[in-house]
Amino acid sequence: MTGHLSAAANRSLRGPSPDHAVILGLQKELAEERTTVAALEKERDFYFGKLRDIEVLIQQELERNPSSESPLLKDIQAVLYSTEEGFEIPLEEAAAEAEEYPDETF
């Protein structure tokens, strides 16, 4: 050895490279995005649970009093089961929902 530093050692003495700063920035951004996704999934699951509870209550009431055929309950069911134009449940999700709620008709 003649006392010369390798290129890698020389770069490490000068501090973090611009590439390293970019990587750290992207890692921070990714962590923030993951936190946002987790919060959105939690919120989605919360509201899905509420809608599912409403659906069960309506079904139970209609099963208890099939002759009543409440227009309000039918209207609420129509809202629960409606889809927006251009929205389709992917086949994998539909199959998973059918397994999760086998007594339901979607």
Residue-wise pLDDT for 66-102, tens only, equals: 777 788 998 999 999 998 887 777 667 666 666 665 5
In the chain, domain spans: 14-100
- What pTM was estimated for this model as a whole? 0.57
Distance CA 77, CA 72 (A): 9
Residue pair 89/81 in contact by the 8 Å Cβ criterion = no
**Does 1.20.5.1430 match the CATH number of domain 14-100?**
yes
Residue closest to 28 by CA, chosen among 36, 57, 17: 36
At residue 49, the pLDDT reads: 97
Q: Is the pLDDT score of 106 beyond 50?
A: no
> Residues 29-45: pLDDT tens digits?
999 999 999 999 999 99
